[in-house]
Structure 1
Amino acid sequence: MKNNLRTLHPLSWTIIIGTIFGRMATSMSIPFLAVYLTQVKGATASSAGFIIAVSSLIGIVASFYGGYISDRIGRKKVMLMSIFGWTLVFVGFAFADAIWVFFVMNALNGLCRALFEPTSKALLSDVTPPSIRLFVFNLRYTAINIGVIFGPLLGLYLGSSKTTIPFLAAAFIYFLYGLTLAWQFKKHPVATPASIKQISIKKALSIIQKDTVFTIILIGIILCSFGYSQLSSTLPQYLSASPFIEDGPKLFGYLLSLNAVVVIVVQYPLLLIAKRYSTILSLTAGNVLIAGSLFAIAFSQSLGTLAFIIVIFTIGEVLLFAMMDLFIDNIAKPEVKGSYFGAVGFSQLGSVIGPWVGGMCIDFFGAANPLSIFSVLSIITIAGVPFLLIGYYRLRKRSEASVAVNIRADH
């Protein structure tokens, strides 16, 4: 591990360290937004869910173009534009009052994330040797969860479920991140290869559309994202409204921090096991654990049982997200790598539908009927397994066919 750390590019370090503080800023504000909207602004659960979901809705459309634009004009311009835009978005959240303003701000939040996330992943791939890309992608994932350990606790301390002031702190953190990134790009310039600049958006779309294995697996990932989105949307609303649970927002903050701690503890031991198998099998196992955890929430009212469920949920999350970036990196064609990382943003369709469906379930069944709520969410999530398995077998057949062609060519 020490040798891997020594070989990291300075821009990789900037992204990883910036990710810690960026996610800390986001997780002390955004996860409490649904609670703030319902308890302070009087929004319905389904309306709050839709406002949360619009961020991912924008991401569905914008992430592919964000990745493509970074292939076209370079990672630097896209990353700096999006991160300073993010700063202004958090300022907008802090001063928002009307419900429609929160809707607009969260839509812009999704746009900035859709531009920044695939571009930063593509940059990490650009500046990292293939032999340690899994290590770097998961170092970034660890950074995300270090930030999420402290973010919700800061959010509770600052009263994020009752005020929008913490968004100003988030804006300041993103502004500093942007300045640091700009300085590092100036000190360590990264050129975009000419061959990448010549790829048209029509050709990039055509390459990805013809990759049927990627499309099938993407459908499975969408349903995985549906299940995962319940952690930051339906769960806090349910805990806050449930007649069986006291002080739900505080409990949610603790569970969110526990989620991040468990990621850091189990991530690398799980990777030692998971890397022996196909990345798609890891995605499948993650889906099953997340779906099972959602179903189990219906039978849990105490801190201890909810904490245990979050541990299982988190193991599923690690298997899902820790291997996803490597899967994209492996399957992507080099000249459209940014576009592939952007195209996986279509998986956010699950994050759009998830909060909305979860909110509707709470409105329809009521927080006093958790079995009905979480049974629906669990069934929809586990529907992703067949798609992932079909993709796994098709990818294996494609690999076997490619090996056979190479053998014939050698002879």
Structure 2
Amino acid sequence: MKTLKFHPVAWAVIIGTFLSRTGFYMTIPFLAIYLGKVKGIDPATIGAILAVSLFVGTGSSFIGGALSDRLGRYPVLISSMAAWSLVFVGFAFAENTSLFFLLSALNGLFRSVFEPTARALLADVTSEERRSDAFNARYFAINIGGSVGPLVGLKLGAGGLSSLLPFMVSAGIFAVYAIALIIFMLLYKLEPQETSDLVSMKKTVSIVFKDKVFIYFLLGNVFVAGAYSHLDSTLSQFIGHNRLGVYSFLFVINTLTVVIIQYPLTRLMKRFSSLTSLKVGCLLFGLGILGFGLFENVYMLVLFMVIFTTGEILCYVIGDVLIGEIAPAHLRGAYYGAGGFMIIGQSAGTWIGGILLSILGFGQGPIIFSILMLLAFMAFPFFHRGQKLRENQQRAANTRGGSIGMKVEEIHNFS
């Protein structure tokens, strides 16, 4: 099938993404249950343990991506995956609460180092016209891994007294992938980065965060991440508190929608610019969120979950493609790493949704989800401004290119 003919290294990233997500979701979703039921840790401390992972991951994403620009994709991927494997071994045998804090922090660190580096490597080995297909396949792998992982984890006893096995299986998956990456490193050499292209970390920070198009994209993505966070936080509390079966069904609909419409949708949106797709995506996110608060009928909730998931696909798949388009090749890792700051929105969205539920109560769904819809719409002006700047940049580049071509032709005619 023509559309699936990627570079072997691209396949290694896509399949590795499936494996890493499967291993991750075999255990981490059940970690809170494990810490409470098996280790006897109180809920407030468990929340703090889980939050540490998110907090550490926010800053380490940029550092990990930038390091991959300087040290190479393979060394950073292999070392992070090998170390990540040891973290899960630690979860299996840890007894002390402070050790769980440390392991949670390391979990966030190594995941945030691995993710942007893997995305940068995928962009490195894929031509610009094929990147949408490659990131589409990667996102498909993420969702399949996210679906398979919890089921396997439950079968292996995740969250219960036999949680040693799932942690060790996850560690084994990560270790096998690290070995596979070593083999790929030996078989498929990447183009070495030109020494002249390497810049200091300070200059890298300056370049990335002075890129106005990227900054507008990043600011918009903060609100997008906030919108997505409501799927397993605000919505789970709002619907799940008295209709857990309905919430579980909607979660399945979310996964099935990704599997069914992701490929044709991203093919369709190739006709438009990446930022146009992001603008449409954030609006669909908001409309989907509003529907969750307006309707109790299951069929209407399914409809708005499909709308919500359509926005999710557009924002997350096309967002990765956009970074590949605007990032200089020698700073691609840093750009993908900086994209990790969108986690701020995820944290804030979870917090804001909880506050609204606490203050207004579960009976005020239309008001709560209308506010959350407006917050999702806040991404639109940032994406729109970024699109205008990018169009102006491209127009100026074309004008300069045309002027140079005319001068060359004049010199040729004169001679």
Shared topology, TM-score over 0.5?
yes
Mapped to 1, the partners of 2:193 and 2:57 lie a distance apart of 26
Once the two structures are superposed, residues 300-326 of structure 1 have per-residue CA deviations (whole angstroms, 9 ceiling, x without a partner) of 556544433322221111111111111
Quick check: 60-69 or 191-200, which moved more? Answer: 191-200
Matched to 2:111, the amino acid is R
1:5 aligned residue: 4
Q: Could you say if the C-alpha distance between residues 119 and 182 of structure 1 is closer, same or farther in structure 2, counting changes exceeding 3 Å?
A: same
1:382 aligned residue: 377
Q: Could you say if the C-alpha distance between residues 157 and 371 of structure 1 is closer, same or farther in structure 2, counting changes exceeding 3 Å?
A: farther
2:133 aligned residue: 135
Q: Secondary structure at the match of 1:192?
A: coil
Structure 1 residue 375 displacement after superposition: 3.9
2:309 aligned residue: 314
Mapped to 1, the partners of 2:199 and 2:369 lie a distance apart of 45
Quick check: 177-186 or 99-108, which moved more? Answer: 99-108
Quick check: 110-119 or 225-234, which moved more? Answer: 225-234
**What TM-score comes out, normalization by structure 1 length?**
0.86
Mapped to 2, the partners of 1:275 and 1:116 lie a distance apart of 28
Quick check: 66-75 or 349-358, which moved more? Answer: 349-358
Quick check: 161-170 or 276-285, which moved more? Answer: 161-170
Q: Could you say if the C-alpha distance between residues 375 and 210 of structure 1 is closer, same or farther in structure 2, counting changes exceeding 3 Å?
A: same
Q: Could you say if the C-alpha distance between residues 99 and 220 of structure 1 is closer, same or farther in structure 2, counting changes exceeding 3 Å?
A: farther
Once the two structures are superposed, residues 119-151 of structure 1 have per-residue CA deviations (whole angstroms, 9 ceiling, x without a partner) of 111111222233322221211111112212322
Give 1 or 2 for the bigger CA radius of gyration: 2
Mapped to 2, the partners of 1:223 and 1:119 lie a distance apart of 23
Matched to 2:395, the amino acid is E
Q: Could you say if the C-alpha distance between residues 33 and 231 of structure 1 is closer, same or farther in structure 2, counting changes exceeding 3 Å?
A: farther
1:394 aligned residue: 389
Matched to 1:266, the amino acid is I
Mapped to 2, the partners of 1:95 and 1:16 lie a distance apart of 31
Check conservation: 1:73, 1:192, Cα contact below 8 A.
no
Q: Could you say if the C-alpha distance between residues 100 and 358 of structure 1 is closer, same or farther in structure 2, counting changes exceeding 3 Å?
A: farther
Corresponding residue to 2:337 among 321, 335, 342:
342
Q: Equivalences for 1:169-188 in 2 at 5 Å?
A: 169-188=169-188
Corresponding residue to 2:60 among 31, 43, 62:
62
1:276 aligned residue: 271
Corresponding residue to 2:74 among 73, 76, 89:
76
Corresponding residue to 2:404 among 397, 404, 409:
409
1:263 aligned residue: 258
Check conservation: 1:145, 1:260, Cα contact below 8 A.
yes
Mapped to 2, the partners of 1:102 and 1:373 lie a distance apart of 35
Structure 1 residue 224 displacement after superposition: 0.4
Matched to 2:176, the amino acid is L
Matched to 1:127, the amino acid is V
Mapped to 1, the partners of 2:309 and 2:178 lie a distance apart of 30
Q: Could you say if the C-alpha distance between residues 20 and 210 of structure 1 is closer, same or farther in structure 2, counting changes exceeding 3 Å?
A: same
Q: Secondary structure at the match of 1:88?
A: helix
Quick check: 229-238 or 316-325, which moved more? Answer: 229-238
1:219 aligned residue: 219
Q: Could you say if the C-alpha distance between residues 239 and 85 of structure 1 is closer, same or farther in structure 2, counting changes exceeding 3 Å?
A: farther
Once the two structures are superposed, residues 26-56 of structure 1 have per-residue CA deviations (whole angstroms, 9 ceiling, x without a partner) of 2343345567778985525xx7666544433
Asked if 1:150 is matched to 2:148, the reply is yes
Once the two structures are superposed, residues 222-265 of structure 1 have per-residue CA deviations (whole angstroms, 9 ceiling, x without a partner) of 1101111222334344454x1x31xx3x6555543432221121
2:120 aligned residue: 122
Question: CA-atom RMSD, angstroms?
Answer: 2.9
Paired residues, number: 402
Mapped to 2, the partners of 1:50 and 1:227 lie a distance apart of 22
Quick check: 68-77 or 393-402, which moved more? Answer: 393-402
Check conservation: 1:148, 1:256, Cα contact below 8 A.
no
Q: Could you say if the C-alpha distance between residues 5 and 56 of structure 1 is closer, same or farther in structure 2, counting changes exceeding 3 Å?
A: same
Q: Could you say if the C-alpha distance between residues 360 and 85 of structure 1 is closer, same or farther in structure 2, counting changes exceeding 3 Å?
A: farther
Name structure 2 gaps, 5 residues minimum.
407-415
Structure 1 residue 285 displacement after superposition: 1.4
Check conservation: 1:216, 1:390, Cα contact below 8 A.
yes
Mapped to 2, the partners of 1:396 and 1:252 lie a distance apart of 42
**What TM-score comes out, normalization by structure 2 length?**
0.85
Matched to 2:8, the amino acid is P
Mapped to 2, the partners of 1:296 and 1:163 lie a distance apart of 40
Matched to 1:14, the amino acid is A
Q: Could you say if the C-alpha distance between residues 313 and 89 of structure 1 is closer, same or farther in structure 2, counting changes exceeding 3 Å?
A: farther
Mapped to 2, the partners of 1:160 and 1:236 lie a distance apart of 21
Quick check: 355-364 or 340-349, which moved more? Answer: 355-364
Q: Quick one: percent identity of the two aligned structures?
A: 37
Mapped to 1, the partners of 2:214 and 2:154 lie a distance apart of 40
